[in-house]
Amino acid sequence: MANSGAAAVVGFGLSCSSVKLSQTPISQFSQPSRRFCGVKMAVSLDEKKNFTLKKSEEAFNAAKELMPGGVNSPVRAFKSVGGQPIVIDSVKGSRMRDIDGNEYIDYVGSWGPAIIGHADDEVLAALADTMKKGTSFGAPCLLENVLAEMVIAAVPSIEMVRFVNSGTEACMGVLRLARAFTRRQKIIKFEGCYHGHADPFLVKAGSGVATLGLPDSPGVPEAATHDTLTAPYNDFSAVEELFETHKGEIAAIILEPVVGNSGFIAPKPDFLTAIHELTKDNGALLIFDEVMTGFRLSYGGAQEYFGITPDLTTLGKIIGGGLPVGAYGGRREIMEMVAPAGPMYQAGTLSGNPLAMTAGIHTLKRLKEPGSYEYLNKITSELIQGILDAGKKAGHTISGGYISGMFGFFFTEGPVYNFSDAKKSDTEKFARFYRGMLEEGVYFAPSQFEAGFTSLAHTSEDIQHTIAAAEKVFRRI
Ligand SMILES: Cc1ncc(COP(=O)(O)O)c(C=O)c1O
């Protein structure tokens, strides 16, 4: 028996409502006036008549001869939803346009960075100004100080920060740092959590790996994952057992404080607190991988949202405003181990790149304006509730949830607490739903095992259009 829509949302959102949901009724928040409000694109969703992907198909067939699988990151290839990917020509606000001229309401947001909307005018103008001074310095610049100050002021655990070029790099760096600081080797990660594609993390890594049905990746040496221990997400006693078995050996626990890489999975109430206590009691470090949740759940990320201060944090996506960036940071005494302040080596040719810093600075400035997160909460709540209601009304078993601008739903009864629960979802039905929504002009992540994202540029009309489209598609799948 399916849960009611409200119960399903609460099923996931339990931890959020019990921790720190805004006390203000969401109906009081409207889209702040300075936000992007629907730049007119040549073919609007309603004007769209003949849905064809001819040019996308031709381009993707050519791409397959040029790049492995035709893409530069696996999930983009649509393998788990069938058909071929749409090839994008341009993005603006909440919209994407493909090379056939079809327009979509986008809930991927370049996998998270586009939280103030794509190609924001102020960000573009700031980038143009910075670009006049050059595209890369390979030397210190003032923009690094500005973004570092903003990140340190916003994220509770971060007293010092190191910028890198991707979330993967951030997680690689933070892992080396945790091992260097504790002088221990073992780490605990959770099944279905993704921390980039560095060897030690490619164990039960969710997301792209799960989507392709690859248990692990060939090429990862056994030695690289020998010290990676895994536990099911939300299973505190499994983690306790690992600490018992490997007394004094565990350097750190790394986790997604809200999982996005198995679909959207919220932590159970007290799970994060209990994990935090456990690390403290055992001399291990707690690392929040906030590459996805940083500046998305709240301005201070998941750690501010849940009121838990980890030892170390990784960031990416939003802090680069759509340009390649990552960062890791934490307590000063730990960060001072990083070269050249300390002995732990880590470096990068393009790290602290002025364009990436610029886009990050202007994205964070916008997010900091009053009402941003209340607005994200409001539209995302309406969206997920509308989708769940529509699904149930059409007789489907569906559950889902959201926090701020992050959401997800599964074709299973729920509650979904971990990756095994997520895998109970009817992925074939998801694929049918996905293709149907695409034809209706709605672009979700092309995998059941990815969270969705809203942005400040999504309007109430976007949300209503999406729900109406879902009603149609649910009736015919
Ligand atoms: C939680 C998390 N950590 C790390 C990464 C890796 O980031 P990147 O793709 O920038 O290397 C991702 C990417 O989606 C992520 O979601």
What is the model's pLDDT at position 217? Answer: 85
Q: Does domain 121-368 have CATH number 3.40.640.10?
A: yes
Question: How many whole angstroms from 327 Cα to the centroid of ligand 1?
Answer: 11
**Ligand 1 atom 16 nearest Cα:** 292
Q: What percent of the chain has pLDDT over 90?
A: 84
**Of the CATH numbers 1.10.10.60, 3.90.1150.10, 3.40.50.720, 3.30.1240.10, which one belongs to the domain with range 54-118+371-475?**
3.90.1150.10
> Which ligand 1 atom sits closest to the C-alpha of 168?
11
pLDDT of residue 48: 54
Q: What's the angle, vertex CA 234, arms to CA 199 and CA 252, rounded to 5?
A: 45
For 67-108, how does the pLDDT look when each residue is reduced to its tens digit (9 = 90+)?
999 999 999 999 999 989 999 999 999 999 999 999 999 999
């149930």: which residue's tokens? 392
The more confidently predicted of residues 23 and 285 is: 285
pLDDT the model gives residue 206: 63
Q: How far away, in angstroms, is 280 Cα from ligand 1 center? A: 26
Is there an atom of ligand 1 within 6 Å of 287 CB?
A: no
Which residue in the list 98, 100, 289, 421 is annotated as catalytic? 289
Q: What is the mean pLDDT of the chain?
A: 90
Q: State the alpha helices, DSSP H only, in 336-444.
A: 354-368, 372-393, 419-422, 427-439
Closest residue by Cα to residue 295 from 343, 327, 342, 249: 327
Q: Which protein residue's CA is at the shortest distance from atom 3 of ligand 1? A: 195
Q: Write out pLDDT tens, residues 194-246.
A: 999 999 999 876 655 554 444 468 898 888 999 999 999 999 999 999 999 99
Burial label for 324, CB within 10 Å (0-12, 13-18, 19+), is middle
For 135, other C-beta atoms within 10 Å of its C-beta total 10
pLDDT band at 50 (very low <50, low <70, confident <90, very high): confident
Strands of 51-190 (E only): list them.
88-92, 95-98, 103-106, 160-164, 186-190
Q: Is 429 in the pocket of ligand 1 (CB under 6 A)?
A: no
Eight-class DSSP state of 2: P
- Res 203: pLDDT: 84
**pTM (predicted TM-score):** 0.91
**Angle, nearest 10°, between helix axes 460-476 and 372-393?**
20
Q: What is the mean pLDDT of residues 325-340?
A: 98
Asked if residue 262 lies in contact with residue 419, where contact means CB atoms within 8 angstroms, the answer is yes
Is residue 233 annotated as a catalytic residue, yes or no? no
As a residue count, the chain comes to 477
- Closest to 278 in 3D by CA, of 371, 188, 400, 143: 188
Instruction: Evaluate if residue 21 carries a pLDDT over 90.
Output: no
Same fold flag, 54-118+371-475 and 121-368 = no
375 lines ligand 1 (CB under 6 A): no
Please state the domain extents for the chain.
Answer: 54-118+371-475, 121-368
